[in-house]
A and B are shown apart, each in its own frame.
Chain A
């Protein structure tokens, strides 16, 4: 259990590292998750500073208002790129399936921690998928409206309604992603034990996989364990 090991960074997710341990996130997935997290949190902190005078002090944390204003759009573009990278990595895993639809109807049990009443799910559950699509569509709206805010003088006066629409869409999309972000951080750190470790070290126990992602567990271990 405590033996050190050498893992190739190219190992695919689902590799059984050793007895009782499965690779849940590849190195590439973890790196891109944390790059995205870094870019998003920067945009969140600076965006909240621009959002409310009571949070303007947040801009001081990252070098003051003008500096925050200068970098916010660039970090926004970086986050957009990282979201599209995640889309490339996870598009197939994130598609909503029939299993998810059944699971979503029983989500109440998930919230109440009565997981035994839930249908088994694959690599990601419905909530994780929902968060992914929220962030993807959110960032699309944010980047389009954000470019409008960035080059607001480039929007001609005759199309000025676009200027007003841009601030509104940017704020609405940002708030939607913040809602998802709060739940995501809560679930990843406090609620689902083992989840945070999995996105850092990449590994989960087989029992964790079996509990939270039964179908994925069966899929990745099925062939291998049956050979034994």
Chain B
């Protein structure tokens, strides 16, 4: 992203325009997860821990291959394993890599009260700035994907950064780098949507998976992480991926109209008592009593 500003605009003594001058640049980055080619190897889980400097934590066994029930403050990337019964009664294992979705309209950022604790870069990455985080947990209430997690020791919130430290240096995120099947892709949003749609079309037309489609939910303005699902009509089957995620209504109300109503009410209260004092003044007890009733 930083190098994008070094693209050549004009060249001295050059015959013709600068090469690439008319190129339309897409700064929005995106991770594509093709669940149809994921084998559940968890290489992405390990790569995430390694790159971000966390050690492997204890796994929680729950009759499944899944490492633990949900992501943790120091475990940002988790493959969710879901046994799913097909229409013909056979069983399939749906595997979905769960992490921050990097929403275009992030609920965590909307809910956050601390100046600068959550930022959204021009490339679409939503990133927590722990030095500004106050640890209130409002982002937990704002997130439609249940992603931000609290570190009880430092009292700060953590989640997937989409490896912003790698991406800013022109590298792909660690999970992408580690994927052995190529089910993870990284590029511009346009390219990834295009690739995802092509893959979904291939699944529909060549493999007879009629409901295959792309998960890029419009309710949060699209996401910086998109999925190809075998059955896009039932994302819930993939470990609770919401069908139509939105910033919760009460959170939007609280951060929107309630602010105005509340602030005007408080100002109105102060103005009201001031005007009352100017109009009616204090209650005097018997004027003959000196000190206005004080002992």
Residues of A within 8 A of B (CB): 20-21, 49-53, 56, 59, 65-66, 68-70, 111-113, 115, 149-150, 152-153, 157, 160, 163-168, 171, 175, 178-179, 182-183, 186, 190-194, 197, 201, 203-205, 207-208, 211-212
Contacts and interface: CB of A to CB of B under 8 A. Distances in A.
Which of B132, B136, B137 gathers the greatest number of chain A CB atoms within 10 Å? B136
A50 B113 contact: yes
Contact of B134 (A66, A163, A191, A194): A66
Contacts of B207: none
Given A157-B146, A191-B276, A171 B293 contact: no
Interface stretch (B3-11, B48-56, B84-92, B261-269): B261-269
B135 A66 contact: yes
B295 A69 contact: no
Nearest to B288: A207
A189 to B, nearest CB: 10
Contacts of B140: 152-153, 163
A157 B135 contact: no
B290 to A, nearest CB: 9
A213 B281 CA distance: 20
A157 B135 CA distance: 19
A70 B254 CA distance: 22
Contacts of B70: 157
A165 B254 CA distance: 10
Contact of A157 (B155, B240, B249): B240
Contact of B286 (A52, A171, A186, A207): A207
Contacts of B136: 50, 69, 149
A69 B114 CA distance: 10
Given A69-B136, A190-B282, A204 B293 contact: yes
B45 to A, nearest CB: 20
A210 B138 CA distance: 51
B284 interface: yes
Contacts of A68: 134
B285 interface: yes
Which of B150, B248, B249 gathers the greatest number of chain A CB atoms within 10 Å? B248
Given A178-B269, A182-B270, A193 B254 contact: no
B266 A208 contact: no
A53 B110 CA distance: 12
Contact of B294 (A50, A65, A183, A205): A205
B138 A207 contact: no
Given A51-B113, A204-B295, A205-B293, A111 B280 contact: yes
Contact of A153 (B149, B273, B282): B149
A159 B133 CA distance: 26
B191 to A, nearest CB: 33
A183 to B, nearest CB: 6
Interface string B99-141: 0000000000001011100000000000000001111111011
Nearest to A179: B269
Nearest to A148: B141
A194 B269 contact: no
B14 interface: no
Contacts of A208: 285, 289, 293-294
19 contacts: A56-B113, A56-B114, A66-B135, A69-B135, A149-B136, A149-B138, A149-B141, A153-B150, A163-B248, A167-B251, A171-B262, A179-B266, A182-B269, A182-B270, A190-B273, A193-B282, A193-B284, A205-B294, A208-B293
